[in-house]
Structure 1
């Protein structure tokens, strides 16, 4: 029963945690509009593959965070620099022109590699999963044994893949519903990554 529960929690937290606009799912939306659903599925697979080591690292960190809480602080500080750089990159890209939905000639970029790269750069996945694990452990809903961790990880991988799959599948509907908001996805990505960096910096200072 605990294995099924951990799979469910892994799926639920990763799915819900990725519903709101973020660098990863807005990139999925952009790739779907530019290159199609097949490319988005490859991108989602690339992102999901990196979830495995991120969850494992989160499990290891959670066991020792009480003894050495500076570990997560170091990761957060590194994440601030990375997201500032990403914000500048996406802002610069937004100046090159808006996304053209019809007749777009997509750049020759490997979506699988893009997914892997962005997922690696998303340093906040580790603190997120660590926080999730801590919360579950407080209510005695988590086990640090190998098999339970495997089920939790599998749920997190599938949850992440599925939400990105949905962003790709309904990309045009999402674009129609949000109007001008998604006509320039690069500027949205710049704002999102910039906000993450700012809020993280404020958290570090206070």
Structure 2
């Protein structure tokens, strides 16, 4: 595939995933307001580093699924478990959101490592990339190879960094709106992932 095609796909997919209010962009906003934009961008650098590898893993898993249909049932079982856990986690985020929205001052020197740690806890990233790439492969918009996966991951890194950077830049203008939407979004996503997870569980049983 063309280098720019893979790069663009990665950018669009990552940007689409990053634009939805979550604890990552909420942290970027809070961090930007508390410690300044420079520290926030170090935090975002930590996010983007982990997302690069998560995009690679998700892309590889999607290629395995498309080439080995016998693994579909196993992946469905694992995916169902992940969806149920994600649903529980989003409900937890919703009902404990007041505690999580408190501002915590973090030294600039630790911003990057803090970003790495938070991004590693973002359990939805790999399933998101896995699902999206599987969809693109099914539509013949993406052909898996190590090189294409690498290009896609670069695009994903740029896309996520750009969107999170935008959050950091306009933090003062969107803090209250983002907080309100994020609280509702966690509950909505929790319901959606719960319904899909339970539906898959009933289907498998």
Tell me which residue corresponds to 1:201: 194
2:28/2:43 contact within 8 Å kept: yes
Tell me which residue corresponds to 1:145: 145
Change (3 A) 1:133 1:155: same
Q: CA deviation at 1:150?
A: 0.2
| 1:108 equivalenced with 2:106 (yes/no) | yes
Residues in 2 aligned to 1:126 and 1:33: alpha-carbon distance in whole angstroms: 29
| 1:40 equivalenced with 2:36 (yes/no) | no
1:28/1:167 contact within 8 Å kept: yes
Alignment of 1:35-114 (within 5 A): 35-65=35-65, 66=69, 67-68=71-72, 69-94=76-101, 107-108=105-106, 110-114=110-114
| 1:26 equivalenced with 2:33 (yes/no) | no
Q: CA deviation at 1:188?
A: 5.6
More helix by share: 2
Which sections of structure 2, spanning at least 5 residues, go unmatched? 200-205
Q: CA deviation at 1:141?
A: 2.2
2:53/2:153 contact within 8 Å kept: no
1:23/1:193 contact within 8 Å kept: no
Q: CA deviation at 1:118?
A: 2.5
User: TM-score by structure 1 length?
Assistant: 0.79
1:89/1:190 contact within 8 Å kept: no
SS in 1 for 2:19: coil
Residues in 2 aligned to 1:13 and 1:108: alpha-carbon distance in whole angstroms: 30
Change (3 A) 1:80 1:11: same
RMSD of the alignment, in Å? Answer: 2.4
Question: Greater shift after overlay, 61-70 or 126-135?
Answer: 61-70
Alignment of 1:165-184 (within 5 A): 165-175=165-175, 180-181=176-177
Tell me which residue corresponds to 2:202: none
